[in-house]
Amino acid sequence: GNRLWATYYGGSLDDRGFSIATDTAGNVYISGYTASISAIASGGFQNSFGGSFFDAFLVKFNSAGNRLWATYYGGTGYEYGYGVATDLTGNVYMTGPATSTVSIASGGFQNSFSGGPYDAFLVKFTSAGNRLWGTYYGDAGNDGAYDVATDARSNVYITGYTNSPNGIAFGGFQNTLS
């Protein structure tokens, strides 16, 4: 029950952490969103604020509480980093809702924004903070993701919300929007 370390994390504007995960080496990852244009990113995939309002962020600390790297994740709109998870090989996943039509998806399942108010996004980073791929997930409605998980086979799962009648469900228990 003794505190080992604690830290503030943010800049001069609105900064919010939403999810936390650890990896097998004891590193700690926090995802969230920020309006701060400084004091957030260092040594990660996106070191400059991309949005006009909010960008998602992902930060990695070692087990002693030292920041190893951090990245913004966003384009010209709003992005929120609501969920973070790691896999057994040290990769890091972040998910949330996005409004940006650029800078989000590359090499993923859905590389174009679908046109609704929000699409969910899922991005995979290496343990060093390099993006491996990113994808939107959504259709013409309002779609977003709240959390992400992985399993022992490195499959990735997201959960969230939608009002899109198409493009979401496939091969599952309920394949139509009710």
Residues contacting 178, CB < 8 A, separation 6+: none
* pLDDT (0 to 100) of residue 12: 96
* pLDDT (0 to 100) of residue 51: 77
133 touches 104 (CB < 8 A): no
Q: b/e string for 16-26 if b means 16 or more Cβ within 10 A?
A: ebbbebebeee
Q: What is the pLDDT along the chain (178 residues), one digit of tens a residue?
A: 999 999 999 999 999 999 999 999 999 999 999 999 999 999 999 999 997 899 999 999 999 999 999 999 999 999 999 999 999 999 999 999 999 999 999 999 999 999 899 999 999 999 999 999 999 999 999 999 999 999 999 999 999 999 999 999 999 999 999 9
* pLDDT (0 to 100) of residue 6: 97
pTM over 0.75: yes
* pLDDT (0 to 100) of residue 115: 87
* pLDDT (0 to 100) of residue 52: 80
